[in-house]
Structure formats: structure tokens, C-alpha cells
Amino acid sequence: MKKFYKQFIASAALLCLPVMASAATGDVNGDGTADIDDVNMIINQMLGRETGLNCDLNNDGSVDVDDLNLVINVLLGHTPTNPEVTPVDEEFTVAGVTFKLIYVEGGTFQMGGRDLTPIGGFSTKSNLPGHQVTVSSFKIMETECIQALYYALMPTNCDIVNEDEYYYNAWKKWRNDALPATCVKWDNAVLFAQKLSELTGRTFRLPTEAEWEWAAKGGVRSQGYLYSGSDDIADVGNVHFPSSSPYEQTLKVPKTKAPNELGLYDMTGNLQEWTNDVGYLYSEDAQVNPEHGGGNMMDFGLNSADYRVLRGGSKDDFSYMWALCTNEGRGALVKGSNQPNNGFRLVLVN
């Protein structure tokens, strides 16, 4: 600790200007800045020395390295867009199942706009026009929600009750606690998020399309890949290729393929993932934390408002709907659909 403290003091001395911050983003002593004095206060409390100040910046009940990291990030200019989101990854254990959420720093990016025509496939123009989007910081599940976690809070047959034989057989084929939850209806993904929020006292929900795309592209660490973490889908996505039989690709346990720049797995391929958004066409206007695309509703015929957007493609999409497996590919289904390639991951907003 002493060695680290001395090294940090030396580094901090190179910073010429203090960074303005609220108490939630590093200003421990209330002087209007996050600076070396705030670092001193946190380290003193970590060493058991009474300071008379509240150094528990992330309100987790203890003063530790997470609080120190928050101030350091502010000093380095990495203040999160949403100050309520602490810039650290988090792990939760529910009913004996541990899952991780990755911190995604907010930022501004071009959403959509890539020419997907050479890739071929379905609905290749739904990602147009490209437009500037700013998203706040959030945390997102490292992997798709697995069945062990999903069925810890939901009735086992919640998505296949009264369904036809095809859906039941597909659900039965992939019934395995270690696999991602499949055949999931949008309403049940939302209900699961609500139950998880009540259980943990935190706020979980489905991601917006903008949040999903920002995370899939690697956020502030993006290398501009076509798929989530690579320009070669085989590196990062579980999909079947033209030589494979459609609908027979094996659903994979999470982390079988390489992660993207943020450490997120299976954003492209494996299962298509529900988002919170109704299917709207994109607007050219710059937007901040957009929901539902911002333009006119996609024309799905009757009851278009009942459709929700899915992102990332699935294990079954590559040979005839290649574009859906890209970071920008968009699909949509009625929210009551429980197709065998429907899954989800959640975001944590506070």
C-alpha cells in the first residue's frame, strides 16, 4: 500500500489542473474538485484512520479500492457520463449462480450507417441512415443470461406453455442449466429483470438498441470491427456456415468464442438478443440515450407496436441472413415470440 501510495502521489503531481466533480464522482471533502486531497482521505480511511468524511463513494458499505479507482478515473478524465454508475465491473450471486456485469463507459458514436449489402441477407437497409448517438455509462451482462439463472427466478416452462410441438421440442433440446436461456419471450425477459431488481435492490432492464450496439462495438475501446470483437465471425460468433445444415448448429455454452474489446462474449451469434426498443426506423438527427430508433415505426403490418428489436443474430442466421450477425444488423419479432434462437442479456443502470 505504501509503495502504491508513493507512486500515485508522484503521478498525481504531474496533473496541473484539478477536475471539477460532484461528491458522487470523487469530491470527498466538498471543495468542488476531485484531487489529491480526496485520494488522501480515501487512503487514510482504508488504513483505518478516522477522517470524519464519507469516503464510501459508491455506497457499497465499505471504503476500498473501488472508491479509490473512482477518484483516479476522474483525475484521469474518465468521468462516467452517468455519475450514478460506478466505473467498475460487478459480480452478483443469485440462487448459487454467479454472473458478471461489465462496465461500459458512455460516449458518442455513429450508430448504424455501414453498408451491409455486400454481406447479403435480410433487412440490410434497416441500419440506415447512420447517425450520431450519445449514450450514458451502464453495465451489461458479460454473457447471455444462462438457464440456471433464468429458471432460478422464473417458472421452468414459462416460455413454452400451450405452445406447439415445434417450440416445445426446440426448448427441450436445449434445456441445460449451463446454456443460455432460449425460447424466451420479450415479456418474460422484462419480468425476469424486474424480479432480479427486486431481489438485489438494484435496477436491471433490457438494453436499448443504442446501448447494445455501443457495447457490441467495443465502446470507447472499439477497433471498428464488423462483428463484436473481430472482422471474422468465426473468431467471436457461434453460427452455422453455408456447408452446415440450417437450424442444426449447436447452441454453445457462453465464452466458447473470443470476447470483444470490452470483454463481452457472444454479442454476435449464438442467440439473438432482445432489446427494450420498439422497431422504429432510424432518424438522421443526433440523439442522446435514444429509445425506439427515433424515426417512423417499421412496417410489420398489424400491431407493429407489439414488435421488439433483437440484435446480434443467432447460431442459425449466417447462411441466409448474414447481416443480422453484425454489430449493426437489426431484426424484430412480436414480443410474444419464443423462437428457439431468442435470448437476452441485461444492463445494470445503478
Residue 196, pLDDT > 90, answer yes
Helix, strand, coil % in the chain, rounded to nearest 5: 25, 20, 55
Residues 6+ apart with CB under 8 A from 194: none
Q: Which residues make beta-bridge pairs with 146?
A: 180
pLDDT score at 25: 55
Average pLDDT over residues 162-180: 89
* Mean pLDDT of the 39-47 span: 86
**CATH architecture designation of domain 2-75:** Orthogonal Bundle (1.10)
Greater confidence, 68 or 229?
229
The residue behind cell 437489426 is: 330
Instruction: Give me the amino acid identity at 33.
Output: T
**When comparing pLDDT for 286 and 124, which is higher?**
286
The more confidently predicted of residues 201 and 64 is: 201
pLDDT digits (tens, 9 = 90+) for 206-265: 999 999 999 999 999 999 999 999 999 999 999 887 655 444 578 999 999 999 999 999
| pLDDT above 70: percentage of residues in the chain | 80
DSSP per-residue codes, 292-305? S-EEEEP--STTGG
Q: Do residues 331 and 311 lie in contact, with contact meaning Cβ atoms separated by under 8 Å?
A: yes
pLDDT at 155: 95
Q: Where are the domains of the chain?
A: 2-75, 90-348
Whole-angstrom Cα distance, residue 55 to residue 66?
11
How confident is the model at residue 270, as a pLDDT? 95
The yes or no reply on domain 90-348 and CATH 3.90.1580.10 is yes
Is the confidence at residue 301, as pLDDT, over 90? no
| pLDDT tier for residue 294 given thresholds of 50, 70 and 90 | low
Paired residues of 204 in beta bridges: 348
Work out the average pLDDT over 304-333.
86
Confidence of residue 313 (pLDDT cuts 50, 70, 90): very high
Instruction: Read off the pLDDT of residues 93-104 as tens digits, 9 standing for 90 and up.
Output: 999 999 999 999
- Beta strands, E only, the chain: 19-20, 33-34, 90-94, 97-104, 107-111, 131-135, 138-141, 204-205, 272-278, 280-282, 287-288, 294-297, 307-311, 330-334, 342-343, 347-348
Total residue length of the chain: 350
